[in-house]
Structure 1
Amino acid sequence: MNSIGLSRTTTLRLPPALGRHAGLAAVLLLICLYLSLRSEVFATTPNVVNVLRQVAVMAVLAAGLTVLMAAGGLDFSLGSQVAVVVAVVARLLESGAHVVVASICGVLLGAVFGLVNGLVVTVFNVAPFVTTLATATVLDGAALIAMQGQSVSAGGALTELGTGEVLGIPYLLLIAAVVIAGAAATLRWTRFGRDALAIGGNAVAARLGGIAVPRHTVALYVANGMLAGLAGIMLLSRLGAASPGTAGLHLELTVVAAVVIGGTALHGGNATVAGTVLGVLLLGVVANGINLLQIDSFYQSVSVGVVLLVAAVVNQLRHRGRH
């Protein structure tokens, strides 16, 4: 009798991580269900693989940005960094450089961009938003200069990376999964990740607690730059050529939207890689649905902007609620 009484008073509780993202996961599932009913192509294996391949670049950038935003940072130049890396790597491959050498140059170039952003933010104490928006403008112009306003073919050097699969899983998705797992592990199990959260929570207290805030911040921007270099190589492998308008600010806004939608705090001190993954999938599915339903592509930008605005408001309300 006692056991029966106890069972009646027991309440079902979701795990914290699952409960936190239950609403976002439900929205994603509802959209997938709607698109499955409206389009016969959406739920097919080729389309699902295509969506995952397309969001892989965004996922790599979003994973790094999640850790950076955990420390109170922000980088609006990631998409522009990708644009320059795509242009430079394509130029190197066109000139006959080995694919490994060109790829290493792309990652190092991204690291340099991140280093510049990090130094300006820490040494000159310029707001991350202003710093990275300025560098984004510079880099957008640099990408056009590198391409001389024309498309640059990468040949077939990166084709296998962009289209290849292992056991039906695209190489690009595997790379994204490794980066995501690394970001999640960094935040949860490493001192570097805990220090990032501490800096985002209160930079002054973190400094008094012995954390080298400037050095840590620069390292985060450099890491994000390197991931931008990797993302540029991944994007070039999928597109096969660098073209004016590739990546840029639109990609960065999409990445920021994915991170904010996932629940990472804009003010720092709180981040969730699992939420970021759901945000990336949501935006990828919406973009794919717009294409399948033959809706004007201009509405994709509208949808991203609206979702970002709503997520930012919800994020801020959640922050006020905690305080």
Structure 2
Amino acid sequence: MTTTTPSATETGTRRRTGTARTGLLASIGGQNLSLIGALVAVMTLFGALNGNFLSVSNLQVIAEAATITGLLAVVQTVVIICGGLDISVGSQAGVASVVSAMAFTGTGSNPYLGIAAAVGIGVLVGILNGLVIVYGRVNPTIATLAGLAAYKGLAQLLSDGRAQGYVLNDPVFVFLGRGRIAGLPVMVWLLILTAVAVHVLLKYTDIGRNLYAIGGNDTAARLAGISINKYLIAVYALIGIVSAVAGILLTARTGSGQPVSGSEGLELKAITAAALGGAALKGGKGGIGGTLLAVALLGALENGLTVQGINSFWQNVAQGALLVIAVAVQQRRTGERPIGLPA
């Protein structure tokens, strides 16, 4: 029997092909591949159950509904990368929503002053969170948990617990909430621009590298001359700004300032999306691409359950389960077991 030995050319071609595949898989990442697979599975399942699920109109509904969560998830990813956490993003969005509507009506229906007031309160709230964490030496989880309650209460006090203003007769707010550019909703464009800007910041600037360094090893980062306090305050200020933008979009989408409705539970969605996207809750690891895939997965799952007429309470159950699964997978991959007996 005669055996054929592969030629050097064939061997080289196979090696290059294998290397190219390995490089492609490495660039995409195992975490992202898993999310893509899960997203395809969810879309296929609900598409088979309901013919309208994959229609262009419903896909636009999913994208619009996921925009506010996506904005908050993007900045949540940033703060998690540098070793922090912000549980108050939903309440911050609620305060900004109320302030934008009240400032709009209080200034003779001036949308630009309404937007500026909302962004201003977002900056103040974000900086306040950063100052409490850095100089008050309060754990980020506890500090922002307190902020969750405090900012929710502030939004209710400002609005007397009711929706404020009416902005659907203003072209600027209508454009933000319902306008389209090149066929895509303006809200989606804002998410894309924010995600691209943050991705570039994290991956291609010294600021991004320093944020990863702070989350990976804050002691080494401090010894390297990185001003950790300034970075943390700046990150929480960024969260305040983006949360304010989310609040403005909430006002534009619903037509009035919402103190609680529409913003409650956003913090859970944002943290779940960031964790599912591969952001390690201990810090130092994560990316915007994975976060956006997770946002899409959560949006498709939520819409699919709604289309099927499944009780909305199950959506909360699903989000909680996904968060636990994401963290458990992270712990398995790193081999860590911070609580409990060794496995």
Q: TM-score range by the shorter chain?
A: over 0.9
Deviation larger for 94-103 or 118-127: 94-103
Secondary structure of 2:240's partner?
Answer: helix
Q: 1:232 matched to which residue of 2? A: 247
**Could you tell me how far apart the structure 2 residues matched to 1:5 and 1:206 are?**
45
User: Match for 1:47: what amino acid?
Assistant: N
Q: Over alpha carbons, which structure has the higher Rg?
A: 2
Asked if 1:241 corresponds to 2:251, the answer is no
Residues 49-88 of structure 1: pairs in structure 2 closer than 5 A: 49-88=60-99
Q: Show the 5 A alignment for 1:2-21.
A: 2-8=8-14, 11=18, 12-13=21-22, 14-20=24-30, 21=32
Q: 1:302 aligns with which of 304, 317, 336?
A: 317
Q: Hey, what's the Cα distance between the residues in 2 that align with 1:318 and 1:132?
A: 28
Superimposed CA distance per residue, residues 265-290 of structure 1 (whole angstroms, 9 cap, x where no aligned partner)? 10111111110001110111111101
> Using a 3 Å threshold, how does the CA distance of structure 1 residues 196 and 309 change in structure 2: closer, same or farther?
same
Deviation, 1:8, is 4.8
**Alignment identity in percent?**
31
Whether 2:101 is the aligned partner of 1:90: answer: yes
Q: 1:28 aligns with which of 34, 39, 49?
A: 39
Give the equivalent residue in structure 2 for 1:153: 165
1:252-267 residue pairs with structure 2 within 5 A? 252-267=267-282
Q: How many residues end up aligned between the 2 structures?
A: 321
Q: Which runs of 5+ in 1 are unaligned?
A: none
Which secondary structure does the structure 2 equivalent of 1:15 belong to?
A: helix
CA-CA distance at 1:164 after TM superposition: 0.6
What is the Cα deviation at residue 56 of structure 1?
Answer: 1.1
Question: Per the alignment, do residues 249 and 208 of structure 1 end up closer, same or farther by CA in structure 2, a change over 3 Å counting?
Answer: farther
The alignment's TM-score, normalised by the length of structure 2, stands at: 0.90
DSSP-derived class of the 2:43 partner:
helix
Please provide the CA RMSD for this pair. 1.4
Indicate yes or no: 2:191 matched with 1:176.
yes
1:18 and 1:107 mapped to 2: Cα distance? 35
Which residue in 1 is equivalent to 2:147? 135
Q: Comparing 237-246 with 65-74, which one deviates more in the overlay? A: 237-246
CA contact (8 A) 2:167 2:252 kept: no
Q: Unpaired runs of 5+ in structure 2?
A: 1-6, 337-343
- Equivalent-residue separation in structure 2 for 1:230 and 1:155 (angstroms): 16
Q: Which residue of 1 aligns with 2:237?
A: 222
Cα deviation digits, residues 207-261 of structure 1 (max 9, x gap)? 1100001011100000110110111111111111234532445111100000000
CA shift at 1:108, angstroms?
1.2
Q: Deviations over 1:60-84 (max 9, x none)?
A: 1111111111110110001000011
State the TM-score, normalized to the length of structure 1: 0.96
